[in-house]
Structure 1
Amino acid sequence: MSITTDQLRARAAGSLWLRLAAVALPLLMIAPALWNGYPLLQWDTGGYLARWYEGYLVPSRSTVFGLYLHYGEGFGFWINLAVQSLATLWLLQLTLRVLGLMQTFRFVAISLSLMLSTALPWLASMLLTDIFAGLSVLALFLLVVGASRTSTLEKISLFVFTAFAAATHSATLGVLLGLCAAGWMVRPFLGGRLPLAGLTQASLTIVAGGLMLVSANYALSGKLAWTPGGYGVAFGRMMQDGIVAQYLNDRCPRERYKLCPYRNALPASADEFLWGKSMFNTLGRFDGMNEEMGTIVVQSLKDYPAWQAGAALRAMGQQLLHVATGEGTNGWIPHTRGIIERYIPAQAAPMRAARQQNWGVNFDDVNWLHVPVALASMLALVALLAHALASRRLDDLTLLAVTVTLALLGNAFICGVISGPHDRYGARMVWVATFVVLTAAARRWGEDDKAR
């Protein structure tokens, strides 16, 4: 069959689009860092960077992610951003392909829309675990649902990526574990829609991620242990809700706690207590207070179950609404700056010269768009699920929408209940809802075009 001139031109144009996208999209995905002149840093970045050098475990700082950052030091951490950018684009296109919706123009349009209207490029431009939270949800979905439409190499890559993401942060591991548990519970009702092999592989990523984390902890600290800090973070949230003060008032007359003398002077926020200049420092921080905080957390759950349940539901609801981009990413990051200057002096000069370190990064303008887009995306996701339920349409896109909805709820519960509501925890996950909504809209437009 002969090929017409118009067909040749169309193929050439498509090939040009593909080449342009292959070059431009990875750079645009980390455009905030390129504009900043250095990878974006956050309050917590220094704690991860220091793990290689300090050789001991600290609360909520994954050694796995610390090692990942360490291996990028010689390249000014730009190699880390390259990995994050390429991994993001790979998972976006692979998801579209598994859904049967992959077209070059559609992929470029959706990618650009996400870059302009969500926190995604800011997350990809940052030396922090947050980019892997949302990406891991897509990877887990692809492992389960896309088993018959992905190659062996892709399955291995998805497995390794998901296990790594689980090892970077306990909240991410918790969300993935919850998704797997939900998958096993509904599988008897869905049968072949959730293949046994895919669900098993997805579940094993949690095991692999846990082993990865414990192994890294042992390699760096000599301790065969999980990353510490769970009780301290939960204690901070309970203190913020007033539960700790009530518990101390009830117990201190007959029991001796280190915090009893301070029960009427507790800080108003968990962040002020754990990271500010509070009695927590005076009493030995985590080393001196971990046992007592654990006791108070466990006992207060028993003593005030209704109060705890109400506080948890409020925190979860509030967390769903905390979605602004950029929390903790400003010019005031003294710990992270100090870690870089002490342990990686070669990076000190370019770090100091960046816009962020000179207070040139402001998220007010981007959040004018990001926040309403995020909130609208969650509402649209609910509408999408309601329409699918009404029409009894359970296709792969609906399964993805269900997966993302459960991930958002799980993330809000884990982060809101344990750490307390923060914009950072919402922003790192909600962009996936926008991706699902854009994908559904693209499919609808495609169906309308075919109908014409």
Structure 2
Amino acid sequence: MSITTDQLRARGAGSFWLRLAAVALPLLMIAPAFWNGYPLLQWDTGGYLARWYEGYLVPSRSTVFGLYLHYGESYGFWINLAIQSLATLWLLQLTLRVLGLMQTFRFVAISLLLILSTALPWLASMLLTDIFAGLSVLSLFLLVVGGSRISAIEKVALFVFTAFAAATHSATLGVLLGLCAVGWMMRPFLRARLPIAGLTQASLTIVVGGLMLVSANHALSGKWAWTPGGYGVAFGRMMQDGIVARYLSDRCPSENFKLCPYRNQLPATADEFLWGTSMFNTLGRFDGLNDEMSYIVVHSLADYPAWQAGAALRAMGQQLLHVATGEGTSGWIPHTYGIIEQYIPEQVAPMRAARQQQWGVDFEYVNLLHVPVALVSMLALVALLAHSLASRRLDDLILLAATVTLALLGNAFICAVISGPHDRYGARMVWVATFVVLMALARAFGDDGSADETSAPA
């Protein structure tokens, strides 16, 4: 078969744009960090950075992620951002390829739209676990459905990435565990679309992620233990809902809790209680109150089940609407600054010179776009699933849409019930909904016939 001059010219143009995209997209994915002049920091960043140096476990701060950050210190953490950028683009293109939608122009267009309209580049530019939450949903999905469409090396890379992501945050691990559980429950109905081999590999990533976390905890602290703090954070959420005050009011006449003298002075929010200047500090923080908080959490669940269920559902609904970018990424993060100054003094000068530390990062205008895009994306995701159900069509894109919907619901439930609604928890996951919607639009309005047209009874 002969190739015309026009075809050669078209191939050359395509190759040029591919090379340009290969250079430009990784840089654009972390453009906020370049604009800032330093990787973006957050309230929690310091807690992760300190894990290598302090040698003990603290609530909700993964030692695995702490080690990941530690190995980037000598490079000003830019190597961490490079990993996050490249991993993001790799998973975006691999998802498109597995779903039969990969074209250079389409990949570039979707990537640029995500960079411009979602929290994705801000997450990739930040020294925080949140970028791995949404990416792990894609990697878990690809492990399950990829099958013969991905190479052995890609499967290994997906496995390692998913296990690492599960180890970076307990909420991420919980979401992935829930997705695997639903996958096994749906296996008898979907059969070939949920291969046993894929589900097994995906499930093993949770096991390996857990082992990774416990091993890192032992290596740094000498303790074979899970990251602490679950009960304490849940206690803060119950206190915010008024449940703790009611429990203390009912029990203090007969039981001698440390918090009894303070039962009428409890702060209005969990953040104020746990991270402010409350009686939590006076009573020894987690070391002094962990047993008592655990006891109250467990027994208040038994004493007020209807109240707990109602509070959980309200918090979950609120969490689904909390999707603004940038929570905790302001100029006021004294703990993180203090950790860097104490343990990584060579980073103090570039950190202090960054826009963020000059109070030059403001997400108000960013969220004028990000919030409506996020909310519309979730509605469009529901509409996509409803249309699929009505037309009795089930293909891999619809399966991904269902997976992302479950991930959003699971993330909202876990984060809201344990910690209370926060924009950070929604923003780290909702961009995946936008990605799925963009793929659906590309398939609907594309003319290359590359979409997976296989249908099955829904």
Q: Distance in 1 between matches of 2:449 and 2:336?
A: 52
What residue is the counterpart of 1:276 in the other structure?
276
Letter matched to residue 224 of structure 2: L
Instruction: Tell me the distance in 1 between the aligned counterparts of 2:192 and 2:94.
Output: 21
Counterpart check, 1:6 vs 2:6? yes
Deviation sequence 1:275-297 (CA, Å, 0-9, x none): 00000000000000000000000
The aligned counterpart of 1:307 is 307
Distance in structure 2 (CA, Å) of the matches to 1:292 and 1:447: 62
Aligned to 1:242: 242
Q: Which runs of 4+ in 1 moved over 2 A?
A: 447-450
Cα distance in 2 for partners of 1:184, 1:137 equals 16
User: In structure 2, the residue corresponding to 1:18 is in which secondary structure?
Assistant: helix
AA matched with 2:350: P
- Is 1:224 aligned with 2:224? yes
Q: Distance in 2 between matches of 1:391 and 1:382?
A: 14
Distance 1:335 1:305 in 2: 37
Matched position secondary structure for 1:267: coil
Structure 1 gaps of 5+ residues are none
1:348-363 equivalences under 5 Å are 348-363=348-363
Which residue of structure 2 aligns with residue 199 of structure 1? 199
Question: 2: CA distance between counterparts of 1:389 and 1:111?
Answer: 28
SS in 2 for 1:281: helix
1:418 and 1:224 map into 2 onto residues whose CA distance is 24
Name the counterpart of 1:99: 99
Letter in 2 for 1:8: L
Aligned-partner Cα distance in 2 for 1:209–1:145 = 20
Deviations 1:67-99 (A, max 9, x none): 000000000000000000000000000000000
Shift of the 380–2 alpha-carbon distance from structure 1 to 2, 3 Å rule, reads same
Match of 2:432 in 1: 432
Matched with 1:324 is 324
Q: Which amino acid aligns with 1:71?
A: Y
Aligned-partner Cα distance in 1 for 2:312–2:3:
64
User: In the aligned structure 2, how far is the partner of 1:217 from the partner of 1:438?
Assistant: 40
Q: Which amino acid aligns with 1:405?
A: T
Partner of 2:208: 208
Task: Give matches, 1:121-136, under 5 Å.
Answer: 121-136=121-136
Q: Does 1:340 align with 2:361?
A: no
Cα distance in 1 between the residues matched to 2:353 and 2:374: 32
Q: Within 2, Cα distance between the matches of 1:447 and 1:380? A: 22
Residue in 1 that maps onto 2:189: 189
Report how far residue 2 of structure 1 moved. Answer: 1.7
Q: Once the two structures are superposed, what CA deviation does each residue of 1:193-227 show, in whole Å capped at 9, x if it has no partner? A: 10000000000000000000000000000000000
Distance between the aligned counterparts of 2:448 and 2:25, measured in 1? 28
Shift of 1:148: 1.6
* 1:406 matches 2:380: no
TM-superposed CA distance for 1:446, in Å, is 1.0
Which residue in 2 is equivalent to 1:108? 108
Q: In the aligned structure 1, how far is the partner of 2:116 from the partner of 2:58? A: 36
Mapping for residues 383-398 of structure 1, pairs under 5 Å: 383-398=383-398
Distance 2:381 2:447 in 1: 19
Letter in 2 for 1:238: M
2:252 and 2:4 mapped to 1: Cα distance?
87
CA distance in 2, matches of 1:231, 1:269: 16
SS at match of 1:105: helix
Alpha-carbon separation, structure 2, partners of 1:94 and 1:189: 26
Single out whichever of 375-384 and 440-449 deviates more from structure 2. 440-449
Aligned to 2:299, the other structure's residue is in SS state helix
Match of 2:68, SS state, is helix
Q: Aligned equivalents of 1:338 and 1:174: distance in 2? A: 31
Residue 246 of structure 1: CA displacement?
0.2
Letter aligned with residue 81 of structure 2: L
The one-letter amino acid paired with 2:335 is: H
CA distance in structure 2 between the partners assigned to 1:193 and 1:2 by the alignment: 40
What displacement does 1:449 show? Answer: 8.3
Question: Aligned partners of 1:435, 1:449: CA distance in 2, in Å?
Answer: 20
CA distance in 2, matches of 1:175, 1:151: 26
Matched, 1:73 2:77: no
Where 2:67 maps in the other structure, the secondary structure is helix
User: What residue is the counterpart of 2:38 in the other structure?
Assistant: 38
**3-state SS of the aligned residue for 2:112?**
helix
Distance in structure 2 (CA, Å) of the matches to 1:140 and 1:16: 32
- 5+ residue gaps, structure 2, are 451-458
Amino acid in the other structure paired with 1:392: R
For 2:102 and 2:288, locate their aligned partners in 1 and report how far apart those are by CA, in whole Å. 55
Q: What letter is aligned with 1:127?
A: L
Aligned to 1:295: 295
Q: Distance in 1 between matches of 2:432 and 2:302?
A: 36
Match in the other structure for 1:49: 49
> For each residue in 1:22-43, what CA deviation from the matched residue of structure 2 results, as whole angstroms up to 9, or x when unmatched?
0000000000000000000000
Q: Measure, in 1, the Cα distance between the counterparts of 2:396 and 2:191.
A: 14
* Structure 1 residue identity aligned to 2:101: L
1:342 CA displacement = 0.6
Partner of 1:265: 265
Structure 2 partner of 1:141: 141
Offset of residue 448 of structure 1: 8.7
TM-superposed deviation, 1:409: 0.1
Q: Distance in 2 between matches of 1:445 and 1:23?
A: 28
**Partner Cα separation in structure 2 for residue 18 and residue 164 of structure 1:** 30
Residue deviations 1:130-173 (CA, integer Å, cap 9, x gap): 00000000000000001220000000000000000000000000
Q: For the residues of structure 1 that align with 2:285 and 2:47, how far apart are their CA atoms? A: 15
- The 2-side partners of 1:173 and 1:213 are apart by 11
SS of the counterpart of 2:446? helix
- After TM superposition, list the pairs within 5 Å mapping 1:158-197 onto structure 2: 158-197=158-197
The two structures have a TM-score, normalised by structure 1, of: 0.99
**Which residue identity does 2:187 align to in structure 1?**
R
Residues in 1 aligned to 2:302 and 2:232: alpha-carbon distance in whole angstroms: 18
Mapped to 2, the partners of 1:21 and 1:300 lie a distance apart of 55
> Who is 1:156 aligned against?
156
Q: What is the CA distance between 1:447 and its match in structure 2?
A: 4.5
Aligned twin of 1:118: 118
The aligned length equals 451
CA distance in 2, matches of 1:308, 1:378: 26
Encode CA deviations 1:331-384: one digit per residue, 9 max, x unaligned.
001000010011000000000000000000000011000000000000000000
Distance 2:263 2:385 in 1: 47
1:253 equivalent in structure 2: 253
